[in-house]
Amino acid sequence: MTAESTPALVQIADADTEDPAQAGSSAARGPRARNTKAYLQYVAAKIAGATVSLFAVLVTSFFLFRLIPSDPVKQMTGGRPVSAEQLQSLRHQFGLDQPMWRQFTSYVGDALTGDFGTSFQFHAPVIDKITEALPATLLLTGTSYVLYTALGIWLGTRTAWRNGSTSDRFNTAFALTLYSVPSFWLGLLLIIVFSVGVGPIPGMFPTGGLESGGESGFAYILDVAHHLVLPVITLVAVGYAQTLLVMRSSLLDEMGSDYLTTARAKGLRDDVVRRKHAVPNAMLPTFTLMFVNLGHVVAGQILVETVFSWPGLGGLFYQGLSVPDLPLVQGLFFVFATAVILANTLADVLYPLLDPRVGR
């Protein structure tokens, strides 16, 4: 959630002064229409805000990478026999001999039409390089996202419900330990233990890459799944703690509430009280976190993608930065930022709908 969303939420809550019990009656048609209008205004404001942010990102991405002191042409040809004329010709081809303002205006102009230029090192349109690497990243981080969110919510609920028990203490400590482990180190450890094999543990999984190459059909899907196991475990292991902790603390907040006592007094089973009464109310902060994390799915995980030689966007960004391949890193930065902005906007837009105390 962005900071500016709060006043808007309050505004909507203020507008919703009618008794919700009357919401269905004909007398309530006026306020409801007002509510819808207010909501649409709110959504429009959010979208306008996001558009402004996107444009700001576009401008920032141009200057950000030009702050890195470096010479792409010299870096790319480093160590090879290249004459001064050739260096000059490359610089001309990349447009680096143009004045800064002209580079900037043509970059912004082209970007607005969806053209992010041609990668210096790969001689291919940046958009092509991004769409080429995007599926691999979505597969890895998307799968991990779904798994660590589900695991975090589930374990967070359990640990909070059994607050103070041995399993709570163990689970929380274990999750926190994994959370503080560097992902590349855990990845390497998993490779050594489960790819190469240690003692009685056989080497079960590939050491890296997305596929063995040459498989097709169902065998290909199995092959990719096989390659996916270790990187996903790494990402889930270091990622679920955050969701667990947020879920746990918000559920703990709910646990003293009167409505839970009422539910119990009705004679409902503990399991039902938790699932149907406490958890839905405790989910809201977790939803926020989920949307924040969703934005990062696209950016990939540079370190994990590197350790497992995963051909995704994270690895591409790393390669781009090492030159720096300006069109490539600009384009990637814009895509990453767009994903985060979109996820945040989506969270802002959906939040009033998800929170019954605010939305209706």
Partner 1 sequence: MVVRVPPPSAQPRSRLRVLLASGAAALALAAGSIVPGVPLVAAPQQAQAADSGKSTLTVAVAQSVDSLSPFLAQKLFSTSVSRLMYDFLTNYDAKDNHAIPGLATKWEPSADKLTWTYTIRSDSKWSDGQQVTAEDAAWTFNKIMSDEGAAQANGNFVANFEKVTAPSPTQLVIQLKEPQATMAALDVPIVPKHVWEKVGDFSKFNNDTKFPIVGNGPFILTDYKVDQYVKLKANKDFWRGAPKFDELVFKTYKDQDAAVAALRKGEVSFVAGSPALTPAQAASLKGEKNVKVNEGPGRRFFALATNPGAQTKDGKNFGDGNKALLDQKVRQALFLSIDRKTIIDKVFQGHAVEGQGYIPPRFSTYFWQPSAEQSLAYDPAKAAQLLDDAGYKLKGDQRVGKDGKPLDLRILCHATDPNDKAIGKYLKEWWGKLGIGLKVDCLDDVSVPWYAGEYDLAFDGWSVNPDPDFVLGIHTCAALPAKAKDSAATDNFICDKTYDELYKKQLAEYDPAKRADIVKQMESWMYDSGYMNIIAYPNAVEAYRTDQIKSITTMPSAAGNIYGQDGYWSWWSAVPAGSSSSDGSGGSSSTGVVIGVIVVVVVLAAGGLFIARRRRTTVDDRE
CB of 80 to partner 1, least distance (A): 7
Query: Which residues, 316 to 345, sit near partner 1 by CB under 8 A?
Result: 316, 318-319
Which of 58, 191 has the CB closer to partner 1?
191
Site pattern 15..54 for partner 1 (x: CB under 8 A): -----x----------------------------------
Which of residues 46 and 137 has its CB atom nearest to partner 1 in the complex? Answer: 137
Calpha distance 91→109 (Å, rounded):
21
**Judged by CB under 8 A, does residue 281 bind partner 1?**
yes
Instruction: Write the binding mask 124 to 143 for partner 1: x where contact by CB under 8 A, - elsewhere.
Output: x-------xx-xx-xx--xx
Residue 31 vs 135, nearer CB to partner 1: 135
Integer Rg of the chain from CA: 25
Considering only residues 177 through 196, tell me which ones interact with partner 1, judged by CB under 8 A: 184, 188, 191-192, 195-196
Name which of residues 147 to 166 contact partner 1 (CB under 8 A): 147, 149-150, 153-154
Residue choice 2, 53, 70, 98 for contact with partner 1 (CB under 8 A): 70
Q: Is 258 in the site for partner 1 (CB under 8 A)?
A: yes
Quickly list H helices, 257-325: 258-265, 270-272, 279-297, 302-307, 313-321
C-alpha 81/C-alpha 215 separation (Å) is: 40
End-to-end CA separation in angstroms for the chain? 20
| 143 burial level (CB within 10 Å; 0-12, 13-18, 19+) | middle
**Distance between CA atoms of residues 287 and 302, nearest Å:** 25
Could you tell me the two tokens for 267?
């004679």
Distance separating alpha carbons of residues 166 and 243, to the nearest angstrom = 20
Q: Is 69 helix (H, G, I), strand (E, B) or coil?
A: coil
Which of 278, 293, 203 has its CA nearest to residue 247? 278
Nearest approach, Cβ of residue 325 and partner 1 (Å): 10
For partner 1, give the closer residue by CB, 43 or 188.
Answer: 188
Among 6, 86, 165, 249, binds partner 1 (CB under 8 A): 86
User: Does the footprint of partner 1 cover residue 253 (CB under 8 A)?
Assistant: no
Residue of 1, 13, 54, 87 that binds partner 1 (CB under 8 A): 87
Spatial distance between the Cα atoms of 129 and 139, rounded to a whole number of angstroms: 17
